[in-house]
Amino acid sequence: MLAASACLTILLCACGGGSGARSSGFATPDQVLRSSPTADLALDPSGFRQLLSQLRGKPVVVNIWGSWCGPCRAEAPVLAAAAKTYGDRVQFIGVDVLDHIGLARAFIRQYGWTYPSVFDPTGRIRDSMGLIGQPHTVVISPTGGRFVLSGPATEADLRSAIESALGGAGGASPSPSGY
C-alpha cells in the first residue's frame, strides 16, 4: 500500500511539471500573448488584469465563451472574421469558461480563431469582470474605455465598437470591477 501511494505521488508530481506555467498552475500574461490559439493556458483574475494592463494603449477585444454555449457558436465566425480583418491593430483574447480543454481546442479549430484564449475553468475571470453568463464581448479602447456587448456579438455591433475603440472614443459601459 505504501509503495502504491509513493508511486502515485511521483506520478502526480511528474504529470504536473513542465507546463511552462507559474508554480500556482497559472500562465503569465507573456505566455498567453505568445501562445497558440489552442493552448490550454489558465489565468486567474489577477493574472488577467495584469494581461490587460500590459495591453493598455492598444484596442483589445475580450470574448467570454464556452464550447458548450449555443450563442457562442453563433458568434464564433463573426469573431474569427473580425480578428482577421483587424489583424495586428486590435488584440483579441478569448476567455473560455466552465469548459473542457479538448472541446475548447476543437471549437477554436472549427471556427479558425487565430488569437489566444485563456482557460477559466470556474468562471472567476468572467465573474470578476461583473459579467453573468456568456457570451459577452468587451471592447476596450487604448484609453481604457469599454463597450460591453452582451449575448452573441453581431458583425455590425462588433465593427462599431472596434471602430470606436480605434478612434479613441472611449467606452460606453465601464465594467464594475475596473477592468
Q: pLDDT, tens digit, for every residue of 80-119?
A: 999 999 999 999 999 999 999 999 999 999 999 999 999 9
Quote the pTM value.
Answer: 0.78
pLDDT tens, position by position, 130-171: 999 999 999 999 999 999 999 999 999 999 999 999 994 444
pLDDT tens, position by position, 34-55: 777 876 788 899 999 999 999 9
Hey, what domains does the chain have and what are their CATH numbers? 24-166 (3.40.30.10)
CA distance 53 to 139: 14
Report the Cα 159 to chain-centroid distance in Å. 19
Q: What pLDDT, on a 0 to 100 scale, did the predictor assign at position 90?
A: 97
On whether the CB atoms of residues 102 and 14 are closer than 8 A, the answer is no
